[in-house]
Amino acid sequence: MQVRGAGHRPCLMGIHVRGPWIRVPMSLWLLLPCIVMLHAGRAENSPRRADFFIVERAGALRIYDHYQQPVRDPGLQGILPFTPFRITAWQSMMGDGLTSSSTVELHGRRFFLLRDPETRLLVGEHSAGYTLTVRDAEILDDTLLVTAPRGVELLAPGRGSAIRLTRGDRLILLFRWQGKTYGYTDRAGGSFGWISLPAGAARTSRSAIPGSAGTGASPPAEIISRIRGPVDELNSTLRRLYTFLDAESGIRRQPPQWSVEPEGRSLFCLLRSELPAATYAESSAQLAKRIEGRLLGTGYNVRHQPGRIEIQP
């Protein structure tokens, strides 16, 4: 007798499900730490991708730091005109469980942008000038030196003004989206914009890359980039997995997410999850092992405990 709904079902993290598709919400959620562990230990095989939010006047927004304290002067945090905030969660809640926000990263630090629950816009967005939502961009994190005799142009988003970079200027490529490249230069106090790079106009720079655009903070961005690779990939998989589980169980939950946060010369990978950190002891070890592999030869050491990975020079 053929059971209705039987047959092959989609593959979830390499596991093929056969037979009736039965909703077992608790069983699915209990499998999460195992799935996290499996993914944390696998090799990378695709370019890193992320969403960004570009804003001309970030000071008009309601911004909170990773301690969930108001940011009074965005300029002191390295937030310049047309800064591209890296989105880690478009919709999230602050620590009070009531305030809606978007969780973002900038220079390796976590921030929260408050949202208006009625309009679904960021608080202050109408006064923030030019804004652009960038989805599924390819992360570059590369540094070039301009070699073209006539230089290259960095075009400010949403306007005709441009900065001409001359031979020898350094250019940090941040991401590629819809055939365009977004980058940063430390000329004139630091500027972001779209870059047109004809063939031979620049070459790869082997010099140390600053940890944050225009701030000269350490650790260097090259180290942060190596760490973010496996972290971003794992976070992306967890978000997709939770979307699947939400649909199957009818229960909406916040996916566990890792953040990369500098503190002095060190970096910390911290896990935010509704489950106790001890649940992720093995997956934390697997992720730490992958990060350690990415940092071979850099002089950085990796230590870990459940839900927390520490990287020090």
- Statement to judge: residues 250 and 278 lie in one domain: yes
pLDDT score, position 194: 92
In a domain, 16, yes or no: yes
Q: What is the pLDDT of residue 65?
A: 86
Q: 57 and 23, same structural domain?
A: no
Picking from 136, 156, 187, the residue at the C-terminal end of a domain is 136
* Domain termination residue (choose one: 113, 136, 159): 136
Q: Give the pLDDT confidence score for residue 64 in this predicted structure.
A: 92
Phi, psi dihedral angles at 30 (to 5 degrees): -70, -20
Report pLDDT for 91: 87
196 found inside a domain: yes
Contact indicator for 144, 171 with CB cutoff of 8 Å: yes
Tens digits of per-residue pLDDT, 66-95? 888 898 887 766 788 999 999 988 888 888
243 assigned to some structural domain: yes
pTM over 0.95: no
Strands annotated E in 218-313: 257-263, 266-272, 301-305, 308-312
Q: Identify whether residues 55 and 91 lie together within a single domain.
A: yes
Gyration radius of the chain over CA positions: 21
**Count of structural domains within the chain:** 3
Domain range for residue 174? 137-204
Residues of the chain with pLDDT under 70: 1-47, 76-77, 108, 141, 160, 188, 198-218, 297
Each residue's pLDDT tens digit, 142-156: 777 888 777 788 888
CATH number at residue 158: 2.30.30
